[in-house]
Structure formats: structure tokens, C-alpha cells
């Protein structure tokens, strides 16, 4: 096996956990960075060696120096919206990535797979984002800025190994109940859910897992691969939902201008409170921009058979029903 021994960060998150299970199933020896003792049982059940620490632990190299690590999956990162102090996110996403790149050099690995984000493409409003996109020149969010700078640092870094960037769109599917998934759960549980008319791009969790693993096996050095299962709109999403489920809600569409007008109130709340507001200027920019991503390069080059919208929705909604997040009949 070309990449027998693999080190992975962020192995218990939305992207990391299914990838962890996959690379173990494929027969690789896996070493996972983790600070929490809550993951000990998971690692034990999978036969994964836990490396105690975080992205900045000096001891990580000592733990791995004699393990003949062939590849690194660096997935760990921080995504915070409307944060009063985003410095910690910038440190984790930029400096943490540089730490892992240096670790790769010291361990003399063969390949490094970096989990970036499709938001780094920076496509103009209403245009299709792809690996060839020119960034619009300004950032919608501090998260976008931190990942853009981290990815740039990674490509520019003096590396002694093959480097591949994987850029997922919004990762959704069974197992995800935070972030954008909260909006889906809220919509399904309400008769009149508040929504914004917008473009939506989603990568299914399983497609995201396959994309990462295939990037290890087949990804070309110094390439980016956008992972995106499908592009849709909020209106099409609800139309599909009504066509094959008992959900009969009627959305209350919020004007984008109205969202932008009330957003500064969240900015003020953020300054005087220790809580994170539901909406702020940053999140309003993200919500009103929307995204249209093209994942065809990864589909072709990494041999990903992307799921379609209808199959994705049925799979995801049935999982939410099974886990009692949604009170509907299975579809």
C-alpha cells in the first residue's frame, strides 16, 4: 500500500469522522490527533492510535517520528460567524495549517491533503465558482478570509511532499445537525419557516468523504478540487420536499434588503454582549450572496459519482426522522 500510515487532524468532526472510518476500512494504519478523552472509545473501536494534543503541541512530532507516516489529512479548522473576537479562528486556520505543513516536512511524508473550503474561490454574485475563479477581491466573512489566507500559505509553503487542496461546498447529510443543517431541521418543523430566496450548493457527506480519499489516491500535486454534489435554489429545494413528503409548510421569504437593514443591530449586540447574535452584517453578506459551485473537475479527475438532489433529500430527511429531529413520516 502506497500510503500505509496516515495521520489525521479533525477526525471527529463532520468531515473527519466518516473519513476516519473509511481510511480504517481501506486497511490503512491511522493516527488521529485529539485533545478530548470523549473520543477514546471511538478510536479504540476502530483500532486508531490516538495522538494526544492539538495543532500546536510540540509533542506531536515525537509521537509520530518513528511511525513512518506516509500522508497527512489536515481537516481541523474553526468556523465562527458573527464572532466578537475572530483571532482564535485565524490562529487555528492559518497558523495551525502552517504547523501541520512543517510537521509533514519533518516526518518526510509523501502527500498532504488539506481541507480548504469552496468559499475561498470568492466568486462574484450570481456567477459559478470553480477552480479557475478569480477572487472578487473582498471577503464575505472572517471565516472566508481565514481559509483564503490559509490556503494561500499552504500553496506557497516550501514543501517536500505532494500537496492537494480539497474545497468542499456546504457539507450536509446524515450525521450533520449543526450549521446549515439547523435551517433544514427548523424548516421541516415549522408551518411557516422564514427563508431567503437564494442559490445553494451542497456536497453530500459521503461524496465529501470519497472526494478526500480519492484526492489521496489520485489527486495531482498542487491542484485544487472543488467538491459539490449539486447546485439548487431554496425554491427548488422546497418544491422537491413537497413532492415526496407530507410536509406542507409555506415559507415566509425575507427580503434580502430587509436582512441587510436589520443586520447592524446584531453588530451592536455583539459589541455589548458575550453572546453571538442570530444575524450580523457578516452573516447577512453570506446569506444574501448565496453560492453556485462547479464540482465537475473533482467528479472527473477523482472519479466521484455525485448524489442527486432528490436522493440526497430523501436520505437526509429519513435520517433526521430516525433520529427524532423531525416529526414526519419516512419517505
pLDDT score at 331: 82
The answer, as to whether pTM is greater than 0.85, is yes
pLDDT score at 215: 98
pLDDT tens for residues 31-57? 999 988 888 999 999 999 999 999 999
55 lies in a domain?
Answer: yes
pLDDT score at 221: 97
Q: How many domains does one find in the chain? A: 1
What is the 3-class SS of the chain, one letter each residue? CCCCEEEEECCCCCCHHHHHHHHHHCCCEEEEEECCHHHHHHHHHHCCEEEECCCCCCHHHHHHCCCCCCEEEECCCCCCCCCCCCHHHHHHHHHHHHHHHHHHHHHCCCEEEEECCHHHHCCCCCCEECCCCCCCCCCCCHHHHHHHHHHHHHHHCCCCCEEEEEEECEEECCCCCCCHHHHHHHHHCCCCCEECCCEEEEEEHHHHHHHHHHHHHHCCCCEEEEECCEEEEHHHHHHHHHHCCCCCCCCEECCHHHHHHHHHHHHHHHHHCCCCCCCCHHHHHHHHHCCEECCHHHHHHCCCCCCCHHHHHHHHHHHHHHCCCCCCCCC
The parent domain of residue 127 ranges over: 5-174+202-231+292-307
pLDDT score at 179: 67
132 lies in a domain?
Answer: yes
278 lies in a domain?
Answer: no
DSSP category for residue 327: -
pLDDT tens for residues 236-280? 988 888 887 788 888 889 999 999 999 999 999 999 988 899 899
pLDDT score at 156: 98
Average pLDDT over residues 198-216: 97
To the nearest 10°, the Cα dihedral for 14, 19, 25, 28?
Answer: -140
116 lies in a domain?
Answer: yes
pLDDT score at 218: 97
110 lies in a domain?
Answer: yes
248 lies in a domain?
Answer: no
Backbone dihedral angles phi then psi of residue 117, each to the nearest 5 degrees: -160, 150
Query: With 80 as the cut, is the pLDDT of residue 1 above it?
Result: no
pLDDT tens for residues 153-183? 999 999 999 999 999 999 999 999 876 677 7
281 lies in a domain?
Answer: no
Domain with residue 117: its CATH number is 3.40.50.720
271 lies in a domain?
Answer: no
Q: Are 247 and 241 in contact (CB under 8 A)?
A: yes
Query: With 70 as the cut, is the pLDDT of residue 137 above it?
Result: yes
Q: Name the grid cell of 261.
A: 437593514
Amino acid at each position: 500500500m502506497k500510503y500505509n500510515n496516515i495521520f489525521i487532524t479533525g477526525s471527529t468532526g463532520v468531515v473527519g469522522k466518516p473519513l476516519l472510518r473509511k481510511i480504517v476500512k481501506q486497511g490503512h494504519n491511522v493516527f488521529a490527533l485529539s485533545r478530548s478523552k470523549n473520543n477514546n472509545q471511538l478510536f479504540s473501536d476502530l483500532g486508531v492510535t490516538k495522538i494526544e494534543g492539538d495543532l500546536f503541541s510540540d509533542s506531536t512530532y515525537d509521537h509520530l517520528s518513528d511511525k513512518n507516516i506516509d500522508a497527512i489529512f489536515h481537516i481541523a479548522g474553526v468556523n465562527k460567524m458573527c464572532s466578537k473576537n475572530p483571532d482564535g479562528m485565524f490562529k487555528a486556520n492559518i497558523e495551525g495549517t502552517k504547523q501541520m505543513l512543517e510537521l509533514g516536512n519533518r516526518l518526510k511524508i509523501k502527500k498532504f491533503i488539506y481541507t480548504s473550503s469552496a468559499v475561498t474561490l470568492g466568486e462574484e454574485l450570481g456567477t459559478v465558482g470553480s477552480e479557475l475563479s478569480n477572487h472578487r477581491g473582498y471577503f464575505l466573512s472572517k471565516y472566508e478570509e481565514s481559509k483564503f489566507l490559509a490556503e494561500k500559505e499552504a500553496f506557497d509553503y516550501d514543501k517536500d511532499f505532494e500537496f492537494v487542496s480539497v474545497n468542499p461546498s456546504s457539507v450536509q447529510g446524515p450525521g450533520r445537525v449543526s450549521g446549515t443543517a439547523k435551517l433544514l431541521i427548523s424548516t421541516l418543523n415549522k408551518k411557516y419557516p422564514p427563508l431567503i430566496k437564494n442559490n445553494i450548493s451542497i456536497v453530500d457527506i459521503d461524496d465529501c468523504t470519497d472526494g478526500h480519499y480519492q484526492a489521496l489516491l489520485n489527486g495531482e500535486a498542487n491542484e485544487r478540487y472543488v467538491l459539490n454534489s449539486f447546485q439548487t435554489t431554496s425554491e427548488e429545494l422546497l418544491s422537491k420536499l413537497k413532492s415526496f413528503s407530507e410536509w406542507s409548510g409555506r415559507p415566509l421569504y425575507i427580503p434580502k434588503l430587509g436582512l441587510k437593514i436589520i443586520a447592524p443591530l446584531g453588530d451592536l449586540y455583539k459589541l455589548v454582549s458575550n453572546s453571538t447574535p442570530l444575524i450580523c452584517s457578516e452573516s447577512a453578506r453570506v446569506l444574501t450572496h448565496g453560492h453556485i459551485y462547479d464540482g465537475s473537475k473533482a467528479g472527473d479527475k477523482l472519479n466521484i459519482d455525485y448524489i442527486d438532489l432528490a436522493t440526497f433529500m430523501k436520505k437526509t430527511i429519513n435520517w433526521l426522522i430516525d433520529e427524532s429531529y423531525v416529526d414526519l413520516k419516512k419517505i
